[in-house]
Amino acid sequence: MIYEKIINRRTIRRYLNREVPRDVLIRCVDAARLSPSMANKQPLKYIIVNDEELLEEVFSTLHWAGYLPDFSPSKEEMPRAYIIILLDREISEYGDYDAGIAAMSISMVAYDEGLGTCILASIERERLREILRIPEKLEIKLVVALGYPAERPIIEEMEEDNVKYWLDNQGTLHVPKRKLEEIMFWNRLNTPPA
Ligand SMILES: Cc1cc2nc3c(=O)[nH]c(=O)nc-3n(C[C@H](O)[C@H](O)[C@H](O)COP(=O)(O)O)c2cc1C
């Protein structure tokens, strides 16, 4: 069931040292290709990175888990593939919605194959542009990191508007989520509880 998969998927930031199959990466991009696109312009392009040397270089341009200042995946735990989502500005100036949807399509296809993903917007874009020789007309929107999971984050009910995820003593990540009653309304917006 797609519902179960969507609710059970969590962002994974620590990965096993195991290669991601090529055909899975291709299917991820194919799913992104066929995802909804504003005005059906399909302005996105995708670079798959799986070359060993490039994996390390791309890793060095990414910022992980902003709420955990001491955390970054170790070199052993780093992602084993990336899909870089680019906006072709010659096709459209607007690509944020499309890029978000594409990133989710990629994440769900990968999850279905037993992979973990992390969507990243916190990117040293100019360095990544140089490393991958991306021309100026292509804007770097998002990076999706992929690999087999080496962690199992847990969701928690959010308390007092605290959106910050945290690590416990065992190194397990806990991710607060808002309650359904807080975000869902029927027909008209109620006054939220005080
Ligand atoms: C558009 C977008 C950008 C994100 N950028 C980053 C990022 O730069 N670094 C990071 O570690 N996580 C990033 N994340 C992952 C979020 O932190 C994560 O989705 C959130 O904590 C909720 O956890 P969950 O995906 O397990 O539900 C991003 C997520 C989205 C949707």
Nearest atom in ligand 1 to the alpha carbon of residue 62 is 8
Residue to probe by mutation, ligand 1, list 82, 83, 108, 120, most atoms within 8 Å of CB? 120
Instruction: Provide the residue range defining the domain that includes 113.
Output: 2-151
Give how many domains the chain has, as a whole number.
2
Query: Do 157 and 144 reside in the same domain of the chain?
Result: no
Query: Do 140 and 172 reside in the same domain of the chain?
Result: no
Alpha-helical segments (H) within the chain: 2-8, 22-33, 52-59, 96-112, 125-132, 180-183
Using CA atoms, how far apart are residues 8 and 107, in angstroms rounded to an integer? Answer: 12
Query: Do 125 and 63 reside in the same domain of the chain?
Result: yes
Please return the burial class of 183, using the count of CB atoms within 10 Å of its CB with bins 0-12, 13-18 and 19+. Answer: exposed
* pTM above threshold 0.85: yes
Minimum CA distance residue for ligand 1 atom 15: 119
We report the CATH number of the domain holding residue 158 as 2.20.180.10
The pLDDT of 137-151, averaged and rounded, is 98
Query: Do 105 and 164 reside in the same domain of the chain?
Result: no
Identify the three-state secondary structure at position 70: coil
Residue to probe by mutation, ligand 1, list 85, 118, 154, 155, most atoms within 8 Å of CB? 118
- Residue 190 is predicted with a pLDDT of 73
Ligand 1, pocket residues at CB < 6 Å: 10-11, 13, 63-65, 100, 118-122, 153, 165, 175
Nearest atom in ligand 1 to the alpha carbon of residue 123 is 8
Using CA atoms, how far apart are residues 104 and 41, in angstroms rounded to an integer? Answer: 18
- Per DSSP, the residues of 103-118 read HHHHHHHHHHTT-EEE
We report the CATH number of the domain holding residue 87 as 3.40.109.10
The average confidence (pLDDT) of the chain is: 96
- Residue 38 is predicted with a pLDDT of 98
Query: Do 96 and 39 reside in the same domain of the chain?
Result: yes
Query: Do 74 and 135 reside in the same domain of the chain?
Result: yes
Query: Do 30 and 116 reside in the same domain of the chain?
Result: yes
pLDDT in tens, 79-96: 999 999 999 999 999 999
Identify the three-state secondary structure at position 175: strand
Query: Do 99 and 188 reside in the same domain of the chain?
Result: no
